[in-house]
Every structure is written in structure tokens, then in C-alpha cells.
């Protein structure tokens, strides 16, 4: 199983910066998991004790809005990572996540990965260097969406009036 996980983790672009030794250590904390369409992966407010490499399929990040149900914030596709609330206390999910279709992932035990990071700062730095670009990219994407670039002047005016 570990060899299989190692192969899949090594092939995933998200951890391309890691050395074989680091990938091997990380693979020890990983387990392949598949989710069916509509299956909830985690819920807002739950304990952030895992993270996932999304290999194929897609996942919706959502948030419960009173009166409007679960609102989709963003979708993630194969080749990226799901979950970073495990990186920092209080280790709680800020959003929920649902598989939008058959989705193949590798799930990692976050507490174990954190322990490895604490025990081996070089490993920890390498892990953070994998996560940081994704965090920056998603922050920039969110900022772009705040700009509402595709809105017509009338739509932009209405949105501004509501805010």
C-alpha cells in the first residue's frame, strides 16, 4: 500500500517540490480514498484533522448561509489540494467540502504530518512551500472575484448599492 501511495503522491503535481525522501515520509501518512457524487468530505466547523490531494474529479467548497442553504464558494479540480485549516490552530474547517462527481483523493493524517514538520524543520518548510503558492493563488482569485470583472456597469451599480 505504501508503495502505491508513494507512486500516487509522487505523480501528483502539488508535491512536485519535495524530495523522494520527503515524499516517502509523507506517503506514510496518506491513504487513498474515493468519494461519490454528492458525498460530503467535511463540514464547516468540524475538526480539521486531514487534508487531501485531489487526483481526479471535483470538489465544491461551500458555506451554509441562513435562508439560502449551502452556497458554493469555489470548486477544486484534480491536481490540487483540499484543506489547509489543519496548518494552524484552532484546526477547524472554515468551509465545508462536497464531491461534485466521482472524486479520487489521497487523504493525509494532519496531526501526523504536523508532528513530522515540527520534528524536521526542513521537511516542514518544504511542506509550507507547497501550500503557500496555492494559498496565494486562491487569495488572488478571491480578490479578482470581488472585483466582479464581468459585471456590466448596471450590474456593478446594483451590487454596490446592496453592499
Q: Spell out, one character per residue from 20 to 59, where the chain touches another protein: x when CB under 8 A holds, - when not.
A: --------------------------------------x-
Collapsing DSSP to helix, strand or coil, 114 comes out as helix
Residue that is written with C-alpha cell 512536485 in the block: 16
Residue among 48 and 60 whose Cβ is closer to another protein: 60
Name the segment binding another protein (CB under 8 A); options: 3-11, 82-90, 106-114, 152-160.
Answer: 152-160
Residue among 97 and 110 whose Cβ is closer to another protein: 97
Q: Is 45 left (phi over 0), alpha (psi -120 to 50) or beta?
A: left
136 belongs to the binding site for another protein (CB under 8 A): no
Strands (E), 24-160: 30-35, 40-42, 50-56, 58-65, 69-77, 80-82, 96-99, 103-109
132 belongs to the binding site for another protein (CB under 8 A): no
List of residues contacting another protein (CB under 8 A): 13, 58, 60, 72-80, 100, 140-141, 144-145, 147-155
Amino acid at each position: 500500500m505504501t508503495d502505491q501511495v508513494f507512486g500516487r503522491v509522487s505523480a501528483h503535481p502539488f508535491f512536485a517540490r519535495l524530495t523522494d525522501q520527503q515524499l516517502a515520509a509523507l506517503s506514510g501518512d496518506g491513504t487513498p480514498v474515493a468519494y461519490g457524487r454528492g458525498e460530503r468530505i467535511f463540514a464547516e466547523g468540524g475538526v480539521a484533522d486531514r487534508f487531501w490531494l485531489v487526483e481526479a474529479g471535483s470538489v465544491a467548497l461551500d458555506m451554509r448561509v441562513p435562508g439560502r442553504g449551502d452556497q458554493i464558494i469555489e470548486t477544486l479540480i484534480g491536481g490540487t489540494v483540499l484543506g489547509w485549516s489543519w496548518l494552524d490552530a484552532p484546526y477547524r474547517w472554515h468551509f465545508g467540502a462536497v464531491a461534485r462527481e466521482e472524486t479520487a483523493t489521497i487523504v493525509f493524517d494532519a496531526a501526523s504530518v504536523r508532528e513530522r514538520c515540527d520534528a524536521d524543520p526542513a521537511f516542514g518548510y518544504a511542506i509550507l512551500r507547497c501550500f503557500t503558492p496555492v494559498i496565494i493563488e486562491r487569495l488572488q482569485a478571491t480578490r479578482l472575484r470581488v472585483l466582479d470583472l464581468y459585471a456590466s456597469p448596471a450590474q456593478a451599480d446594483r451590487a454596490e448599492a446592496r453592499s
